[in-house]
Chains A and B, each alone.
Chain A
Amino acid sequence: GAVVSQHPSWVICKSGTSVKIECRSLDFQATTMFWYRQFPKQSLMLMATSNEGSKATYEQGVEKDKFLINHASLTLSTLTVTSAHPEDSSFYICSARDWSLYNEQFFGPGTRLTVL
């Protein structure tokens, strides 16, 4: 199956710093990538849809100025958590859709963010 990578796999940072998470599709082109967040014992919640070459579409309640998304190429999307605070600590997972495989999304391994 298609492979999606994320980097870093985990990060610990101080409150107020910004953290960038990369999501790459390794063996296919992804015009659309998705960013999810999962708090402990909760379901994955879609944060935003990242579209190559255009602005991301954010879900209701997600601050676009806090969670900056850049989808500069067909294989790379980045999520930057600006001025991170402890409540931003979560498991961030990206996924990418391979249009050649109808409706299947492939998930990255996730990035565990801990803000002290």
Chain B
Amino acid sequence: RKEVEQDPGPFNVPEGATVAFNCTYSNSASQSFFWYRQDCRKEPKLLMSVYSSGNEDGRFTAQLNRASQYISLLIRDSKLSDSATYLCVVNTQQTGANNLFFGTGTRLTVIP
């Protein structure tokens, strides 16, 4: 079983729409959770960390459910510039090393 699983999409949504991505992780000992954004042929960039209480950054809201080992990202009022692949990332510390496990990513295209 993969460490992190995501729906690969693609999600094609009109400008202004609200879109939600989901992610599950397999290791209950995972400690930190993130959403990264990756544009085509570019490196991943941190979008936001995900906290147990849920957190919001502008149009982006992240939620974590430790009991269900489930993470979500909600994007409101989608912009064309939001088109990218969104990676769910989980940090599982093992033997002193911090290991990031990446989901395959969910591709989002925002249509004019």
Contact = CB atoms under 8 A, between A and B. Distances in A.
Interface size on B, as a range, is 20 to 34
B43 interface: yes
Contact of B41 (A42, A45, A57, A112): A112
Contact of A49 (B8, B43, B45, B97): B97
A97 B42 contact: no
Interface of B: 4, 8, 32, 41-46, 49, 87, 91, 97-105
A43 B102 contact: yes
A46 B100 contact: yes
A105 interface: yes
12 contacts: A41-B104, A42-B104, A43-B4, A43-B102, A46-B99, A46-B100, A46-B101, A93-B44, A103-B32, A103-B91, A104-B46, A107-B45
B105 A43 contact: yes
A95 B87 CA distance: 16
B43 A107 contact: yes
Contact of A108 (B4, B43, B87, B98): B43
A93 B32 CA distance: 21
Contacts of A41: 8, 104
